Structure 1
Amino acid sequence: MSDLVLGTDAPVADEPAPRLVPRGARRLVGRGGLRARLLQLAALAVLFGSWQLAASTRVLNPAFVSEPSRFFPAFWRGVTRGDLMGLMGTTLYETVAGFVAASVLGLLAGYVLAESRLADTVTRPFMTGFNSLPRIALAPLFVLWFGLGSTSRIVLIVSLGFFIVAFNTYAGLQSVQRDHLLLARVLGAKRWERFRIFVLPSAAPAVFAGLQLALTYAFLGAVVGEMLTGNQGLGGYLALEMGTFNTTGFFGGLVLLVLVALVVSGAMRVVERRALRWHVIERRGTTGS
């Protein structure tokens, strides 16, 4: 007879913890990822192949749209010689500096708005009004105030990313279920324990969504600001190439811009997946992907 008898104090053997993601499901996910990568490569081949064909047959004017067979070598020469990489270093510095400042200020502002009803009531109309301003249109004003250097572009990036992070943080902190907070109070959890165990995990997905979007806008703000000033960074290079109608060099710079943006965004997604591993597993179990 088995030793597992209800109502007795007999020890129960530990059972192995069930796998959160079955081995077969992981294989299916891997196959799906490989299929997606192959489809992406096929889409790129069709895009650039059609582009090259249209430019070669003069369906599109190569003076206006260049050709992949020309701007990809231009991109490679700029990378190997270090010209484009040096310009990209300036753009990345402005992007990272502005993104970090916007993230820190936005997280603090979102937390204060969520925790203080008075602060929310007083400052919400002002934040909504300032958020509706077209900050890209204010870029010349930032140049007038802070000069032609990187400072004006960092301020532009902060103005773009701050409200995104603040409002997403506020929404995330407000999304915690009321029953969970009541349960925490009944169990005697202190305020910091309630925030750490219940509020923060509920808010984390929304916060990371805001950070991802703010990073995209930070990159956009850096390039646009450089294009307006036209003296530094990859944006200044693009403005110069377009001003001299050198579409080959312009598209070569765009290739580097897209690749770096993909790398930066991918790094942010890796950080999000590691920080929210529980959330990724939960979504995978409900979506079946």
Structure 2
Amino acid sequence: MNTRTMRVWAARIALAVLVVGGWQLFTALGWVDKFFYAQPSGIWNRLWDYFEHGTEFGSYPQQIATTMQEALYGFLLGTAVGIVMGVALGLNRFLAQVLDPFIKVVNAIPRIVLGAIFVVAFGVGITPKVLLAAVLVFFIVFFNAFQGVREVDRNVLNNAKVLGASRWHVIRHVTLPSAMTWIIASLHSAFGFAIVGAVVGEVLGAQHGLGLLIKSAQGNFDPDGVFANMFVIAALVLIVEFVIERVERRLLAWRPKTQSESVLV
């Protein structure tokens, strides 16, 4: 770990201590009403209680596993469909023009409405949460994949064709690697949206999950419970983000570092 990295981590820890410490101090002094905004010590106690005694809907690890399962399934489904459609429409201008208004109409539908429709259609099981998460992920990945294909360097494409590369070889060795940078970039925010879709679906109707716990805590005027589950969700997203960063480094190892990336090293 170099000096710059140590300084970054020290600044992060200092900022976290400042925010949490200030939050605890202001609520203890009564400057901020902990009835509405909770208190770090109360949040910690609520988390401890969740892990030690469970919840009214079952063990706490079970609630976390349920939400993660829904988010991961939605993430994988939305990513797969988004990449396929993004690349297909990016390569076929006619098809892109035909489907353009329909894609925009579907994208304009409020996600909370889609979630309600999915719950009515498929019940309170895992399916509506996975579908809602997949929809949120799909549009992020789709637009990035589509734009990535359109932004391929035309000179490289022309050179490949001049050298006798077939259409399939051009797509495999030029178009997809170039678009992969855009696709991987979209995944950094996509999983966060997958979690949002899963949690919103659980709030609308579920038997297990962190969203259900948040809804229950809200109904019981328990801000500690609401914030406790929010922090767990944030931790899950950070863990997956760490994994995505490692995958990105492997898949894009061929790409030379940009000037901005070189400065950050």
Q: What TM-score do the two structures reach when normalised by structure 1? A: 0.84
Q: Could you report, residue by residue, the CA deviation over 1:71-110 in whole angstroms, capped at 9, with x for unpaired residues?
A: 1132133235563221010001100111111111111111
Q: Among all aligned residue pairs of Structure 1 and Structure 2, give the percentage whose two residues are the same amino acid.
A: 32
1:122 alignment partner, one of 98, 120, 127: 98
CA contact (8 A) 2:191 2:237 kept: no
Give the number of aligned pairs.
260
Q: Is residue 220 of structure 1 aligned with residue 196 of structure 2?
A: yes
Aligned-pair CA distance for 1:197? 2.4
| Rg comparison, structure with higher value | 1
Aligned to 2:136: 160
User: Aligned with 2:257: secondary structure?
Assistant: helix
Q: Is residue 239 of structure 1 aligned with residue 239 of structure 2?
A: no
Aligned to 2:25: 53
Aligned pairs for 1:73-112 (under 5 A) are 73-80=45-52, 83-112=59-88
CA contact (8 A) 1:142 1:152 kept: yes
User: Aligned with 1:282: secondary structure?
Assistant: coil
CA contact (8 A) 2:124 2:206 kept: no
Aligned to 2:257: 282
2:181 alignment partner, one of 179, 189, 205: 205
Paired with 1:285 and 1:156, the residues of 2 have a C-alpha distance of 36
User: Aligned with 2:32: secondary structure?
Assistant: coil
Aligned-pair CA distance for 1:285? 7.1
C-alpha RMSD over aligned residues: 1.8
Paired with 1:234 and 1:203, the residues of 2 have a C-alpha distance of 35
Q: What letter matches 1:282 in structure 2? A: K
CA contact (8 A) 1:107 1:169 kept: yes
Q: Is residue 257 of structure 1 aligned with residue 233 of structure 2?
A: yes
Aligned to 1:171: 147
| Structure 2: runs of 5+ lacking an equivalent | none
Aligned-pair CA distance for 1:256? 1.4
Aligned to 1:66: 38
Q: What TM-score do the two structures reach when normalised by structure 2? A: 0.92
Paired with 2:60 and 2:258, the residues of 1 have a C-alpha distance of 40
Q: What letter matches 2:85 in structure 1? A: A
Aligned pairs for 1:123-162 (under 5 A) are 123-162=99-138
Q: Is residue 35 of structure 1 aligned with residue 16 of structure 2?
A: no
Q: What letter matches 1:174 in structure 2? A: R
Shift in alpha-carbon separation, 1:196–1:230, aligned structure 2, 3 A: closer
| Structure 1: runs of 5+ lacking an equivalent | 1-26
Paired with 1:161 and 1:249, the residues of 2 have a C-alpha distance of 27
Aligned to 1:9: none
Paired with 2:178 and 2:50, the residues of 1 have a C-alpha distance of 45
